[in-house]
């Protein structure tokens, strides 16, 4: 049938239509999931969505720019606590969180503004931390960002008049559902995709590819690194907020080094810098870890998932260090010839170069 390929081509060259189509399919799936699946199954799908946000945003800031940050859990914590405090029932705030300023203590926000606030707080924290931390490279940066996790944990533990310290916040309203979570998944993918496939994305990747050359063509490294770090932190904050309102409780140990490890594995599996790769790896690891839970219980071997994941990571690093898709995307392996409207001319070049030689 010619209609099929014709439609595929039209979609390929009309990203807006493709996007709307994907959104509709996604919405139909979520509606189906909300209607027919058990609460447990929906929760698992929710976790997968949160993991997608985390992995995609980390693949953006780490993979494109070449920053090796392990700080995502710190930003999740900040976003999660911020949102949780904002949505906490005002009646209970005065007794449980006496240290809050008046305007927060008396208000009770809905999920969307709370989530946004969580993302913004995480982003601001990344902006402040980024100035000194992003001067470091490679494993120095990794260690320094691990320090961020510790700092945030200590702060939350000790600011108990607004966080309840080590006890944590329990009985949060269960506001996250698949609509909210996957709405944010869509936003995360859209924003990172747009940036990656534009001049800014090339500038970011140039830093990863060769920092000195990147500087010598005028790419403002410090600024762009900070931008990528802050954007990643924003989405980590959002993910933390969604997590808190899915699990309905939050302690200073909800996210830690194990979380950082799991997200990094997703990014490495998917291909550092690949957004779709990170999303697919996030789904796969979420499903595996849920599926393994009954097995862990049956054979009384808790922590099996972590061991399997770590083994998987080592195998990938040994045999396919570029991960699933390298830093590219499965759907745009080949660029259409730039400079020409992609409607007609792109066909000629797909799969080969033009014939004439110079």
- Toward another protein, which CB reaches closer, 132 or 339? 339
The count of chain residues that interact with another protein, using the rule CB under 8 A, is 38
Evaluate whether 196 touches 272 at the Cβ level (below 8 Å).
no
Told to check if 3 binds another protein by CB under 8 A, we report no
Told to check if 94 binds another protein by CB under 8 A, we report no
- Toward another protein, which CB reaches closer, 310 or 335? 335
Told to check if 320 binds another protein by CB under 8 A, we report no
Told to check if 12 binds another protein by CB under 8 A, we report no
Told to check if 326 binds another protein by CB under 8 A, we report yes
Among 34, 138, 335, 343, binds another protein (CB under 8 A): 335
Interface map 206-225 toward another protein (x if CB under 8 A): x--xx-xxxxxxxxxx----
Q: Which stretch binds another protein (CB under 8 A): 99-107, 178-186, 238-246, 327-335?
A: 327-335
Determine the distance from the C-alpha atom of residue 95 to the mean position of all C-alpha atoms in its chain, rounded to a whole number. 35
Told to check if 358 binds another protein by CB under 8 A, we report yes
Closest CA to 243 of 8, 71, 82: 82
Told to check if 17 binds another protein by CB under 8 A, we report no
Told to check if 39 binds another protein by CB under 8 A, we report no
Told to check if 349 binds another protein by CB under 8 A, we report yes
Q: Minimal distance in Å, beta carbon 150 to another protein? A: 30
**Residues in CB range of 173: below 8 A, 6 or more apart:** 87, 89, 245, 248
Q: Minimal distance in Å, beta carbon 191 to another protein? A: 5
**Residues in CB range of 84: below 8 A, 6 or more apart:** 114, 169, 172, 241, 244, 245, 250
Gap between the Cα atoms of 180 and 172, Å rounded: 16
- Toward another protein, which CB reaches closer, 62 or 286? 62
Told to check if 254 binds another protein by CB under 8 A, we report no
Integer-rounded Cα radius of gyration of the chain? 22
Interface map 177-206 toward another protein (x if CB under 8 A): -------------xx--xx--xxx-xx-xx
For residue 276, count other CB atoms closer than 10 A to its CB. 20
Which pair of tokens denotes residue 318? Answer: 């040994």
* Alpha carbon distance, N-terminus to C-terminus of the chain: 39
Told to check if 235 binds another protein by CB under 8 A, we report no
Residue found under tokens 């898709």: 325
Task: Sort residue 165 into left (φ over 0), alpha (ψ -120 to 50) or beta.
Answer: left
Which pair of tokens denotes residue 253? Answer: 């140990």
Told to check if 299 binds another protein by CB under 8 A, we report no
Gap between the Cα atoms of 284 and 30, Å rounded: 18
Tell whether the torsion through CA atoms of 175, 288, 74 and 277 is positive or negative: negative
Told to check if 338 binds another protein by CB under 8 A, we report yes
Closest CA to 89 of 252, 248, 238, 254: 248
Q: Minimal distance in Å, beta carbon 181 to another protein? A: 21
Told to check if 356 binds another protein by CB under 8 A, we report yes
- Toward another protein, which CB reaches closer, 207 or 264? 207
Which residues lie across from 169 on neighbouring strands? 250
**Residues in CB range of 201: below 8 A, 6 or more apart:** 64, 195
Under the rule (CB under 8 A), what is the footprint of another protein?
Answer: 190-191, 194-195, 198-200, 202-203, 205-206, 209-210, 212-221, 227, 326-327, 334-335, 337-340, 349, 353-354, 356-358
């Amino acid at each position: 049938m010619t209609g099929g390929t014709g439609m595929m081509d039209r979609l390929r060259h009309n990203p807006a239509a493709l996007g709307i189509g994907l959104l509709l399919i996604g919405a139909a799936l979520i509606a189906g999931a909300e209607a027919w699946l058990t609460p447990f199954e929906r929760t698992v799908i929710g976790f997968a969505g949160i993991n997608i946000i985390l992995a995609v945003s980390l693949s953006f800031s780490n993979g494109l720019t070449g920053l090796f940050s392990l700080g995502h859990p710190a930003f999740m914590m900040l976003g999660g606590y911020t949102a949780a405090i904002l949505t906490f029932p005002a009646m209970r705030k005065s007794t449980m969180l006496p240290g809050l300023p008046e305007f927060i203590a008396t208000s009770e926000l809905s999920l969307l503004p709370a989530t946004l606030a969580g993302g913004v707080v995480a982003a601001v924290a990344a902006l402040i931390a980024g100035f000194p931390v992003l001067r470091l490279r490679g494993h120095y940066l990794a260690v320094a960002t691990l320090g961020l996790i510790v700092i945030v944990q200590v702060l939350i533990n000790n600011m108990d008049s607004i966080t309840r310290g080590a006890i944590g916040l329990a009985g949060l309203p269960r506001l996250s559902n698949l609509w909210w979570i996957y709405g944010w998944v869509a936003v995360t993918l859209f924003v990172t995709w747009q940036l990656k496939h534009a001049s800014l994305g090339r500038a970011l990747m140039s830093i990863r590819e060769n920092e000195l050359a990147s500087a010598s063509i005028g790419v403002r490294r410090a600024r762009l690194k900070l931008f990528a770090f802050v954007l990643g932190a924003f989405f980590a904050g959002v993910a933390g907020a969604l997590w808190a309102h899915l699990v309905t409780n939050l302690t200073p140990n909800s996210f830690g080094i194990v979380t950082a490890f799991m997200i990094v594995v997703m990014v490495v599996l998917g291909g550092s810098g690949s957004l779709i790769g990170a999303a697919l790896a996030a789904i796969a690891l979420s499903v595996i870890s849920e599926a393994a839970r009954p097995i862990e219980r049956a054979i009384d071997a808790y922590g099996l998932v972590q061991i399997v994941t770590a083994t998987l990571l080592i195998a990938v690093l040994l045999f396919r260090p570029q991960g699933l898709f390298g830093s590219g995307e499965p759907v745009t392996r080949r660029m259409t010839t730039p400079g020409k409207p992609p409607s007609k001319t792109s066909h000629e070049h797909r799969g080969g170069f033009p014939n004439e030689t110079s």
